Amino acid sequence: MLEIQNISKSFYRKVAIDNISMSVNSGEIFGLLGPNGAGKTTLIRIINRIIEPDRGSIKLNGELMRQHHLASVGYLPEERGLYRSMTVEEHAILLGRLRGLEKREVKTKLDEWLEKFEIQEWKKKRIEQLSKGMAQKVQFICTVLHDPNLLILDEPLSGFDPVNVDLINRELMAMKAEGKTIILSTHNMKSVEEICDRVALIHQAQKILEGKVSDLQEAAKKGEYAVKFQGNMIAFVNALWTGFEMIEKEVLGADRFVAKLKMRGENNFEDLLKTIMGQVKIEAAWEILPSMQDIFVQEVQSKNNMVHEE
Amino acid sequence: MKNSWIIALRELKERIGSRTFLITAILGPFVILSFLYLLFTYGGEGKQSWNVLVVDPKLPNCPAGLFGNKIMPSEDKTITYQFLNRYVEVEEFRDAPEFQNYDALIEINEKVLSNKICFVFFREKPSIKMQTRIHYQIERRLDEIMVQQKMNISIAEFRKIKQPLNLTYRDVYDPYDTSSDMRSWVGMFFGVVIIVFIFLFGMTILRSVSYEKSSRIAEVLLASVDSKSLMLGKIIGIGLAAFLQFAIWFTVIGIGLYFMREFFFPDIFDPSNFQFSNANEALPAVEYNAFVDLVFERLNLLNMLGFFLMFFIFSYLFYAAFFAAIGATAGSENDGQQFVLPLIMLLCFSVYSGYYAMQYPMSTFTDFLHYFPFTAPVVVMVKLAQGYEPGHGYELYLSLLTLILSGIIMLLIAGRLYKNGILQHGHRLNFIKLFRLLKKQ
């Protein structure tokens, strides 16, 4: 779907993007992660042809990206604005027409989206009459109004309450199900875990990590497990003996705990279950996968340490 | 181009929906019409109606004095004559309470027929119009008396014979009287209108670009439309609003002038509208009001309007490029003032250059200003009103061509600055920054 090949961009002496290549597959939600100032927004602007790269190329469906391709792209920038004096409908018509829709089509699609979000009464309201969250919903609608095949969203969830975060996530999943491709730049790691298929981590203008969310978590796991049980803690610890090491425990209530464990020697998850079975009443047991938050922090810190050592 | 047009229409819609536009569109022409009305009505200084005391002492064979207590065969709205058949000293007229209602005293004696000397003592200097009118009426009455007393022909026959001498003074270095001609002022007026519109709508471009930049709408738009089309759309849209504003002004002022001509100042076209018994006796129109005559008679307004529109459009595009570039490259909405000030000074200078061209139409510096794109719109308007010398009409087109080329170059430069600067925030604009933004990024 989208191929980013050896993109570099500098602003005077500051390198904003340093030879980044990646590809986004059709019908996937791709997370673009990175700390502030890493170069995510610059890369997104390059994809949207807002700024030109110094080197490299971008291909969309095998063709070099040109201005006319933008009609099939929906872009929601991080710092987004609306004309305060215009109504929601006028705004939608303006942006829809700029993306190649006829006025009539815009009106029909706007009605559909307003109905979906149950905000039909906002149609004739001026932007200045809306709250920040309401305006953000309008911005989201304006971005997807022309039914783009590629959706690029820069921090789409910032400023939304949990209900609306859930609403937007559901919409993104629905779009993915329709075959749309979505690039999501966000700091909301929970959403990344929930909806992203693959991610790329950009740090200090370079891509330092790319892959499936599950693969990255798998690669970063430390062999830790958790057991939720009911029973005597001393009996539980005694049962572990020398085969397992308890790292952490959480008291849930009277005789109810969650224990975090690490294997010793050749022991595995099945051995653990066999060991504690009969000693306590097991409610749940699972392997602990690192969160994307953990992976993000770990990778960024390790990169920073490497730079300091050099 | 389609997207530029969409942007332009949005701008146009926003401008014409604004209160400022409506107020300026409605009030502007009425202010100008009121000004023109005042100029036409009170073209000269002084009171508009006079109460005149004619001191015409009794003669041995004529108790009603030489004039027989009459000057005009019918009533004149602006001058009321009262007659007194005795001598009145100037001091008495000045101080005596019974004469305080009179604006002037005309002294008549029996020698006036031979020496043609007559004094008018006024309290407040009359306008040229009033002076001409009194002069004409007194002379006309004297002609009647002279013909009656000393000639064997009728007054009608005498007036057919008598023709006033039209003696005009001209500078040998300016035989067409271009420099002192009031037409130059009309050219100046057109030039100033261009500059005022450029200033008003140029500042609108600056504010609009700054707003889109600071409110981050620019980035949303740039995802669908390239930066040059966005800038061009904005300039065209605001330009259309300016043009519409001008069209409203032109239409309202045009209709207003037509009504003024028909209902308020008909005498300039039809001498019989003067309240004289005989149409042939009317004052020549040129003496009535020079402003009325200038506006309605002596200017080729249609020709001027054609060139006015062309210079209006291209000088707007030329200056608009500067305003758009400053708005896009400024670090914040308040930044860039140091670049706006020189631009405003250039606009002021272009107004001054028009005045300079009026004073020194043939100077080399005026020639330079005539082609200099910053000053061309005003100077060309002045020169156009003055009239180009035969064989020099090409200068007008050359100036227009220079302006068009300068406009295109400036739009290209502004396009580059716009593209490189519109998404940069938080800096302080200076020449180094401007130069960097001008380079390819």
Per-residue confidence (pLDDT) for residue B408, from 0 to 100: 94
| Distance spanning both ends of chain B, measured CA to CA | 24
Give the pLDDT confidence of B154-170 residue by residue, as tens digits: 888 887 777 666 566 66
Contact present, B132 and B120 (Cβ < 8 Å): no
Mean pLDDT of chain A: 87
Closest residue of B to A91, CA-based? B10
Q: Which helix (H) or strand (E) is B16 found in, with range?
A: helix B2-16
Compute the distance between CA of residue B82 and CA of residue B99 in angstroms, rounded to an integer.
11
Per-residue confidence (pLDDT) for residue A244, from 0 to 100: 85
Q: Inter-axis angle of helices B376-386 and B183-214, to 10 degrees? A: 160
In angstroms, what separates the C-alpha of A11 from chain B's closest C-alpha? 7
Q: Residue B166 falls within a domain, yes or no? A: no
If one counts the domains in chain B, the total is 2
Averaged pLDDT, A23-33: 91
Q: Between residues B302 and A294, which one has the greater pLDDT? A: A294
Domain ranges, residue B421: 2-41+179-438
Work out the pLDDT band at B422, boundaries 50, 70, 90: confident
Contact present, B218 and B423 (Cβ < 8 Å): yes
Show the 3-state SS of B287-356: HCCHHHHHHHHHCCHHHHHHHHHHHHHHHHHHHHHHHHHHHHHCCCCCCCHHHHHHHHHHHHHHHHHHHH
Domain boundary among B103, B127, B161: B161
Q: Residue B358 falls within a domain, yes or no? A: yes
Domain boundary among B128, B161, B194: B161
Per-residue confidence (pLDDT) for residue B169, from 0 to 100: 63
CB nearest to B6's CB, from A11, A12, A97: A97
- Look at B6 and A80 and tell me if their CB atoms are within 8 Å: no
CATH number attached to the domain at A222-288: 3.30.70.60
Give the pLDDT confidence of B322-334 residue by residue, as tens digits: 999 999 988 877 7
Closest residue of B to A9, CA-based? B441
B374 shares its domain with B268: yes
Mean pLDDT of chain B: 82
Q: Residue B114 falls within a domain, yes or no? A: yes
Q: Residue B259 falls within a domain, yes or no? A: yes
Q: Residue B62 falls within a domain, yes or no? A: yes
Q: Give whichever of A32-41, B308-317, B390-399 has the largest mean pLDDT.
A: B308-317
Give the pLDDT confidence of B186-242 residue by residue, as tens digits: 888 889 989 999 998 999 999 889 888 888 888 888 888 888 899 999 999 999 998
Tokens of A58: 């971008």
Contact present, B197 and B242 (Cβ < 8 Å): yes
Strand A206-212 relative to strand A198-203, pairing: antiparallel
What is the side-by-side order of every strand in the sheet holding A224-230? A244-253, A256-263, A224-230, A281-288
Per-residue confidence (pLDDT) for residue B163, from 0 to 100: 67
Q: List CB contacts (< 8 A) between B223 and chain A.
A: 48, 50, 70, 73, 75, 77
- Look at A11 and B441 and tell me if their CB atoms are within 8 Å: yes
Per-residue confidence (pLDDT) for residue B352, from 0 to 100: 94
B155 shares its domain with B195: no
Contact present, A41 and A121 (Cβ < 8 Å): no
* CATH top class, domain A2-212: alpha beta
Q: Residue B300 falls within a domain, yes or no? A: yes
Compute the distance between CA of residue A99 and CA of residue B5 in angstroms, rounded to an integer.
13
Q: Residue B321 falls within a domain, yes or no? A: yes
Per-residue confidence (pLDDT) for residue B7, from 0 to 100: 93
B254 shares its domain with B338: yes
B136 shares its domain with B242: no
Per-residue confidence (pLDDT) for residue B282, from 0 to 100: 42
Kindly state whether A97 is in contact with chain B, defined as any CB-CB distance less than 8 angstroms. yes
B338 shares its domain with B405: yes
Show the 3-state SS of B54-73: EECCCECCECCCCCCCCCCC
ipTM score of the complex? 0.79
CATH code of the domain covering residue B60: 3.40.190
Listed by start position, the domains of chain A span: 2-212, 222-288
Per-residue confidence (pLDDT) for residue B323, from 0 to 100: 93
Contact present, A264 and A223 (Cβ < 8 Å): no
Domain boundary among B161, B190, B221: B161
DSSP one-letter string for B409-428: HHHHHHHHHHHHHTT--S--
A2-212 and A222-288: identical CATH topology: no
| pLDDT at residue B128 tops 80 | no
Residue A62, classed as helix, strand or coil, is coil
Nearest residue to A79 via CA among B214, B195, B265:
B214
Kindly state whether A11 is in contact with chain B, defined as any CB-CB distance less than 8 angstroms. yes
B91 shares its domain with B117: yes
pTM score, two decimals?
0.72
Per-residue confidence (pLDDT) for residue B272, from 0 to 100: 42
- Look at A51 and B423 and tell me if their CB atoms are within 8 Å: yes
Per-residue confidence (pLDDT) for residue B296, from 0 to 100: 57
B90 shares its domain with B118: yes
Q: Chains A and B: how many Cβ contacts under 8 Å? A: 60
Q: Which residues contact A42 (CB under 8 A, 6 or more apart)?
A: A9, A16, A17, A51
Per-residue confidence (pLDDT) for residue A132, from 0 to 100: 83
B96 shares its domain with B202: no
Per-residue confidence (pLDDT) for residue B239, from 0 to 100: 92
